[in-house]
Amino acid sequence: MSRILVTGAAGLIGGEVCARLVAAGQRVTALVHRNPEVRANDGSEVAIAEAVPCDIRQDRLGLDAATFDRLAQAHDLIIHCAATIRFDLTDAEYEATNTRGTANVIALAQAGGAGLLHVSTAYVCGTRDGVIREDDPLPVSGFANGYEASKAAGERLVRASGVDWAIARPGITLGEYESGRVRQFDALYMAFRLIAEGRIRLVPAGADATLAFVPIDHVAGGIAAMVENWDAACGGTYHLVPSEPLPMADFARGIGSVEGLRSPTLVDPARFDASTLPPLERRLHGRVSALYASYFQRDPRFDDSRFRALTGIESGPADEAYLRRLIDFCTEEGFLPAAGVLAR
């Protein structure tokens, strides 16, 4: 049994990772921030060994020296899930959490000689299209937003840390593959609701754009498999992505195929002018959909050959059937309107 510490353990990915590790017989310590509850994606409480409140933005993670040293010596492996995934922050806020926060977690690993499994994002590739391989060099510029840039900076720190490391790069993490179930609706789900309800009707999108929607069970299961194969995983970077991404055209059509929901009109980005939108839609576009606009215009094809060779695991495709399962769960939970509600 390994002694594993998970940062961001109360988050969507962190909580499900903890659940899978505990189910496999691992002893798990959870680092949490504001929310002390560690729950699996199904909402059940996870029987962790200890929950420790902290703030990764601060030196020593905001812990006193004795607690920091105790945690450093007590664990063999740290899984760093903690991050901000918001797209509306300043560069300083991204740097504080996603970059300096990673440096502070590295210091914990260095203090006790623990390995570090760093959870990044597949979109550190920036605005590149085409095949993106797991061992491609990190770009130094060309990122779509401060989130991507800060995660790339965190990866560079991990590689230069001197500890045993591996990097997991999930795609856009959404609900479970078979059920669509997700514990919390955040990030892209908010833009998705505005589009599906018809409050955002025009979406600037590339003709060949795709979305790397990946189920939470593939992401958390993949991270747990990396832990199981830690010696082989060390020094590697691994994409946790769907076998096929979802084309934007299928995304739009799939929404409109559900009774009660509205299919967006996809517009050539070169011809899209937000100033011509009705006042409410213009405000919603600026506050929400514009934050995700670059993801609707790119076509990165993430290759996961190294991950599949390491674990033998492959996700299913992000197709319209998976999208429909996501929508059905959102409707069952009241996040999206039931059939006929919008028509009344």
Mean pLDDT, all residues of the chain? 95
Nearest residue to 116 via CA among 236, 222, 240, 19: 236
In which band, very low, low, confident or very high, does the pLDDT at 338 lie, cut at 50, 70 and 90? confident
Position 343 pLDDT exceeds 50: no
What is the rounded CA–CA span in Å between residue 169 and residue 9? Answer: 17
Give the tens place of pLDDT for each residue, 261-307: 999 999 999 999 999 999 999 999 988 888 888 999 999 999 999 99
Amino acid 34: pLDDT: 84
In which band, very low, low, confident or very high, does the pLDDT at 2 lie, cut at 50, 70 and 90? confident
Least confident of 5-9, 131-135, 197-201, 288-292: 288-292
- Taken in order 149, 152, 154, 157, is the CA torsion positive or negative? negative
Bigger pLDDT: 2 vs 148 = 148
* pLDDT mean over 42-68: 98
Position 217 pLDDT exceeds 70: yes
Q: Which two tokens stand for residue 111?
A: 């203090």
Among residues of the chain, what percentage have pLDDT more than 70?
Answer: 98
List all residues 6 or more positions away from 240 whose beta carbon is below 8 Å from its beta carbon.
122, 168, 169, 170, 171, 214, 218, 219, 222, 223, 304, 307, 315
> Which CATH code for domain 3-174+212-240?
3.40.50.720
Give the tens place of pLDDT for each residue, 231-262: 999 999 999 999 999 999 999 999 999 999 99
Mapped onto helix, strand or coil, the DSSP state of residue 181 is: coil
